Amino acid sequence: MKRAFAPLLARRLAALLVLAFLSWNANAFDLADLQEQLRAAPVVRGHFVQQKFLRSLPQPLTSRGDFTLATGKGLLWLLRTPIAQDLRIDAAGISRRDETGKWQALPQRSGASRENQLFLSVLAGDTAGLRENFDLTLTGESTAWQLVLTPRSALLRQIFDSIRIDGAALVDRIELRETQGDRSVLQMTDAVAAQTLTAEEQRAFAD
């Protein structure tokens, strides 16, 4: 009887382990889940604090301001300190709003368009777009996750060691580590999701 009981117990334990694994696998938070979660918010607005840590300086360069990220349109990046400057970043490039309220396209250096698109993809958590240039490693769950981007191409490896994105319902923090030892940290604070743009934001993206 004892001999028959042991194999039966082993089979039951094995079945429980299989069920536990299948249950964990079904509930695992993956890249598709992350992209769906972030795309559920077509508009995100809030405040930001950006710090640039340079090896040559004892203190980081810090800027603060407000942002609006709109799916399919781009990013409004409104600097408040140390200088006041309104920027718009989209697939076409970077524009700056002048004293008259008009948007003026800024000159782009070679490869800038690709960098702009990368920046938008990082902020929006566009995992499909990011996968074209990076190996992605996602850990955590929907309420607290971390995405690490490791560059694939030789060109990007000359610029970045890695990019780390932390978030929950939305992106909270982005850290870019550069190959020469400098790094940038972007904190998104008081970010809220919305379904529509304000009238002012609509005009800013339309001009």
pLDDT digits (tens, 9 = 90+) for 42-77: 999 999 999 999 999 999 999 999 999 998 899 999
Q: Does a structural domain hold residue 1?
A: no
Predicted TM-score (pTM) of this structure? 0.80
Question: How many angstroms separate the Cα of 109 from the Cα of each of 78, 92, 113, 197, 206?
Answer: 22, 13, 8, 31, 24
Q: What is the pLDDT of residues 126-181, one digit of tens each?
A: 887 788 889 999 999 999 999 999 998 888 888 889 999 999 999 999 999 999 89
Tokens representing 33 are: 């889940």
Range of the domain at 95: 28-206
Residue 111 located in a structural domain: yes
CA dist., res. 34 & res. 28, Å (int): 11
| 3 within some domain | no
**In 142-178, where do the E strands start and end?**
144-151, 160-167, 171-178
Query: Residue 85: inside a domain, yes or no?
Result: yes
Q: List pLDDT tens digits, range 68-106.
A: 999 889 999 999 999 999 999 987 888 999 999 899 998
Does residue 142 lie in a domain region? yes
Total number of domains constituting the chain: 1
Here the CATH number for the domain that contains residue 144 is 2.50.20.10
Q: Give domain status of residue 128, yes or no.
A: yes
